[in-house]
Amino acid sequence: MPQNVLGTVLKILLASLILGFILKFLEIDPKDLLLNFGETVQKAFAWAGDFVAGSVEYVLVGAVIVVPIWLIVFLIGRLKGK
């Protein structure tokens, strides 16, 4: 078996394993996934939306520290002519 085929098969197996853990964590069963595909997609989008909405607060809190530090470093670099 050529090296690239074996590597591809291993990547697919690893991706399947990781996705399987995620689906099991989210309590999504393969049978339910196929039988209720539309509802599963809606749940996935709702979960992703909740994740993004919850992340915005953390991004804003982090930006309060990161943006001023970046601005200071940027301005010092400009003053030095870099």
Whole-number pLDDT of residue 30: 81
Contact 28, 40 (CB under 8 A): yes
CA 33 to chain centre: 21
For 10-56, how does the pLDDT look when each residue is reduced to its tens digit (9 = 90+)? Answer: 999 999 999 989 888 888 788 877 887 788 788 888 988 998 998 99
**Dihedral sign for Cα atoms in the order 19, 23, 25, 31:** negative
Whole-number pLDDT of residue 75: 94
